[in-house]
Structure 1
């Protein structure tokens, strides 16, 4: 068993992660960041849960970009092929659940 205090996790660099579990090829990781992530498309679904902080999640729908403000407790779900990027507002801790090895 393991208990993780998300607010206490401090990464060494942006998007540093603490591996919590690998369940049948799906990873559960706690990420710390204070820098934006790149635009990307996952090779499977992704669940992104803000545990501490604020994230502006940008998504592309065809040629249109939208931004969603995610606060603590907000869950973002992207299907395979959904282009998105996370832009933290200050420090953020987020739980990311996705296929192992996904971008």
Structure 2
């Protein structure tokens, strides 16, 4: 059993993570960041839930870049082949569920 107070979590560098669980190769990690990530495509599906803060999620659809603003409680699902990058507005805490070892 674990209880994690996500609002209390920080990391020494952007995108630092706390491993919450690994369920048969699917990881759940809590990330803290105040910097953008990098454009990437996961090797599987990804669930990205904003627990605290505001994140502009940039993604490409049919070669066109789009942006959606995610606030606390919002969830972004990146299907296979979805190129995306998260840009937090200030500090953010994000729960990410994805295949173990994914980018």
- TM (norm. structure 1) is 0.99
Match of 1:11 in 2: 11
Unaligned runs of 5+ in 1: none
Tell me whether 1:54 sits opposite 2:54 in the alignment. Answer: yes
1:46-97 residue CA offsets vs partner (Å, 9 max, x unmatched): 0000000000000001221000000000000001110000000000000000
Matched position secondary structure for 1:55: strand
Match of 2:36 in 1: 36
Matched position secondary structure for 2:7: helix
What CA distance in whole angstroms lies between the structure 2 residues aligned with 1:82 and 1:63?
Answer: 11
Superposition map of 1:83-102 within 5 A: 83-102=83-102
CA RMSD in angstroms comes to 0.5
What CA distance in whole angstroms lies between the structure 2 residues aligned with 1:85 and 1:15?
Answer: 12
Matched position secondary structure for 2:17: strand
- TM (norm. structure 2) is 0.99
What CA distance in whole angstroms lies between the structure 2 residues aligned with 1:72 and 1:63?
Answer: 28
1:21-50 residue CA offsets vs partner (Å, 9 max, x unmatched): 000100000000000000000000000000
Q: How many residues align?
A: 103
